[in-house]
């Protein structure tokens, strides 16, 4: 989801609670805070020696240990106020991909993509997803487009087994 799409959804649903689902049926706690917004420029070279540059907006969420047991989620209105203040200090690149950075004691730190927005009477809930790494130079590197699945029962990594 692009930064402008994220803001449009927030503006359309400012009267709702703002929730983030970091894994299926696993919500960021109601004790979360927006602790940092990063405006990132990625300047990359892939394994095929191709260069690329793009922008990202990273919104970091943190669960406050002082507010464990909190049941009311941040409102979209409050989140918009926080994000607007950030934008006045460091303007957003509105066509940048937006990611949510999050971790807790059961989930590793990750920058998650917004996979879907679910809207009901009282909530705006963003379903987040982890993106797999990929080779952008498959043709140059000779990597086939389809991945070879490794059987779950495979316990060794013998030559020719396809596990490595």
pLDDT in tens, 89-144: 999 999 999 999 999 999 999 999 999 999 999 999 999 999 888 888 888 877 77
Compute the distance between CA of residue 164 and CA of residue 162 in angstroms, rounded to an integer: 6
Q: What is the pTM of this model?
A: 0.84
* Whole-number pLDDT of residue 15: 97
Helix (H) or strand (E) holding 119: strand 107-119
Is a pLDDT exceeding 50 seen at residue 146? yes
Question: 87-114: string of b/e by CB count within 10 Å (b at 16+)?
Answer: eeeeebbbebbbbbbbeeeeeeebbbbb
Angle between helices 76-89 and 3-12 (to 10 degrees): 140
Give the domain ranges of the chain.
Answer: 3-135
């Amino acid at each position: 989801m692009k930064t402008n799409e994220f803001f449009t959804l927030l503006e359309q649903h400012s009267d709702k609670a703002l929730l983030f689902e970091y894994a299926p049926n696993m919500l960021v706690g109601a004790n979360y805070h927006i602790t940092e917004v990063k405006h990132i420029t990625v300047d990359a070279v892939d394994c095929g020696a191709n260069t690329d540059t793009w922008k990202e907006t990273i919104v970091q969420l943190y669960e406050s240990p002082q507010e464990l047991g909190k049941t009311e989620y941040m409102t979209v209105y409050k989140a918009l106020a926080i994000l607007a203040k950030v934008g006045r200090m460091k303007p957003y690149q509105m066509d940048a991909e937006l990611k949510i950075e999050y971790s807790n004691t059961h989930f590793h730190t990750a920058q998650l993509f917004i996979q879907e927005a679910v809207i009901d009477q009282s909530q705006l809930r963003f379903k987040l997803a982890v993106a797999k790494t990929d080779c952008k130079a498959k043709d140059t590197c000779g990597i086939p487009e389809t991945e070879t699945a490794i059987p779950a029962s495979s316990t060794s990594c013998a030559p020719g087994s396809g596990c490595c």
